[in-house]
């Protein structure tokens, strides 16, 4: 009957969407991936503060790396998507240069939360630090393999047959 073919309940699910959804949830709940991203973002922020003139640690101890990494990871997870969403129009218009400003805002929030640990002198040093933390974060994430590879969802065998 025609009625059975036009069911609108949730029992009909697209298999590709369900596979992707389960893969995304599996990646987000992977504790090893969270730990590696915590280390890479903490390393990026630490090296940025060390090598950027005007940004500095006050009373740095080795155990505080985990504090800086954790706070920056929470700020990046909560604030960065909202900032990127609201600056999407400018992101396209500036060819992505607004990401430097977003990273500078994240560094400013980090210095506000950890004001007794990280200090800055001038605003342009935060902007330069935003550039450095973006580049270092991208490099460390690529080296650690935290970004999932881009894969074609089409079957490669049927794709080759159609091309020949």
pLDDT digits (tens, 9 = 90+) for 81-130: 999 899 888 888 888 889 999 999 999 999 999 988 999 999 999 999 99
Residue 163 has pLDDT above 70, yes or no: no
Whether the Cβ atoms of residue 58 and residue 116 lie closer than 8 Å to each other: yes
State the chain's mean pLDDT as an integer: 81
> Using N-to-C axis directions, what is the helix angle for 31-51 and 98-113, rounded to 10°?
90
Task: Give the gyration radius of the chain's Cα atoms.
Answer: 21
Q: What are phi and psi of 111, to 5 degrees?
A: -70, -30
What is the pLDDT at residue 4? 47
């Amino acid at each position: 009957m025609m009625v059975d073919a036009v069911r609108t309940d949730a029992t009909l699910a697209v298999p590709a969407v369900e596979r992707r959804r389960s893969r995304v949830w599996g990646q987000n709940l992977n504790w090893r991936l969270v730990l590696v991203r915590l280390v890479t973002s903490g390393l990026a922020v630490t090296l940025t503060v060390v090598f950027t003139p005007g940004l500095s640690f006050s009373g740095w101890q080795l155990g505080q790396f985990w504090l800086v990494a954790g706070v920056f990871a929470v700020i990046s997870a909560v604030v960065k998507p909202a900032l990127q969403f609201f600056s999407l129009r400018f992101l396209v218009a500036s060819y992505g240069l607004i990401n430097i400003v977003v990273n500078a805002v994240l560094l400013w929030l980090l210095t506000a939360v950890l004001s007794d640990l990280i200090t800055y002198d001038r605003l342009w040093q935060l902007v330069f630090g935003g550039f450095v933390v973006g580049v270092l974060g991208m490099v460390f994430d690529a080296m650690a393999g935290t970004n999932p590879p881009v894969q074609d969802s089409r079957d490669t065998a049927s794709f080759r047959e159609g091309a020949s």
